[in-house]
Homo-oligomer: A and B are copies of this chain.
Amino acid sequence: WTWFKTKVTDFGRCWKKLGKDDPRRVIHSLKVGVAIALVSIFYYYQPLYENFGVSAMWAVMTVVVVFEFSVGATLGKGLNRGVATLVAGALGVGAHHLAKLSGSVGEPTLLGFFVFLQAAITTFMRFFPKIKARYDYGLLIFILTFSLVSVSGFREDEILELAHRRLTTIIIGASACVIISILFFPVWAGEDLHNLIALNMEKLGNFSQGFADEYFRASEEDEASSSKDEKSFLEDYKSVLNSKNAEESLANFARWEPGHGQFRFRHPWKQYLKVGTLTRQCAYRIEALYGYLNADVKASLEVRSKIQEVCTKISTESGKALKELSIAVKNMRQSSSSDIHIENAKTAAKNLNSLLKSDPWEDNVDLLQVIPVVTVASLLIDLVNCIEELADSIYE
């Protein structure tokens, strides 16, 4: 019983957290509820019901299936569903008439063959990566509608009527979704993508700014005293490593969206994917750096301290540059201060290079001690190059 109780409170806490993390989720749930209840009116309200009959349930179904979290996804699904129903309905009626010509024996055979053929071909088309990304749902509905219309045509002779009613109710359902999702607290996939890209850069910037402090921390004691909270922000970047899929699906949704806020209709969403890829390149470098933070054997303090100053400079300047770039992306404005930070980081990297050239450790320590430090240094220099490339792509 206690087990049950803790489970329930855990569950409750989960709900609360989920809602707090993103209040738009709560609003979305309410919106879906409203949309479905609204469309149900078709059933309650007598005159409407007489027009559409049982077909009115297609409207309810459409709302349930089409209403997605973001406007772009809803629009995309709605358009896919509408167009696919129209095309498949027309073809279905055509197939039905063609089959009729072949007499009562040939009709079911021919219809079955048509259904088989279109299902097989359309299913295969769903494997094309490009088609899958944007029209997957439409193809599904195409198979569905074609099968339903051509097959039920075998029974009912009011086939045109059926196709027409199905189309009308689907349009009503889809419009209800689109209107509600745009009018009340819209969630724009484009905006989400925009923020995700900026946030990812900021996370990398945070790491970069914090890295040097953490790496050149004076003693082991210090390390223990640094609270876990402090360290956790150093792991934030990990989510960037696997953000590819999220970015791509958001970009696909965003393409369906009309202009909104600061975005025009044909905003260059592809550019965001490019920036995202470069951000991930930076993240891979940072992943490598991260490994040296927790290395079992850090280079001795003495060795590290020689390059502490320059490395700290590089690391903080790149961090600042990343954050400035993140802000620039967020405001869609060219920022000169990011250029300055990048320049600073590059100068520091050059200084580091020449410092290393002069062999600051001379022959006091063996090379083995120096290696990890040198690796860190060279990864940092590498990171600076990455960031520069990133900046170029942003200003394109």
Contact = CB atoms under 8 A, between A and B. Distances in A.
A291 B382 contact: yes
B374 A120 contact: no
Contacts of A108: 44
A279 interface: no
A111 B123 CA distance: 39
A335 to B, nearest CB: 27
A22 to B, nearest CB: 8
A155 interface: yes
Interface in A103-156: 108, 111-113, 115-117, 119-121, 123-124, 127-128, 140, 143-144, 147-148, 151-152, 154-155
Nearest to A69: B127
- Oligomeric state, in copies: 2
A7 to B, nearest CB: 14
Interface size range of chain A in the complex: 35 or more
Contact of A148 (B30, B60, B124, B288): B60
A117 B34 CA distance: 9
A52 to B, nearest CB: 12
A144 B280 CA distance: 40
A357 B367 CA distance: 5
Contacts of A143: 32, 36, 64
Interface string A21-53: 000011011101110110010011000010000
B356 A18 contact: no
A113 B61 CA distance: 18
B119 A155 contact: no
Nearest to A361: B367
A344 interface: no
A379 interface: yes
Contact of A245 (B128, B152, B242, B287): B242
B353 A357 contact: no
B127 A18 contact: yes
A64 B151 contact: no
Contacts of A144: 60-61, 64-65
Contact of A117 (B33, B120, B378): B33
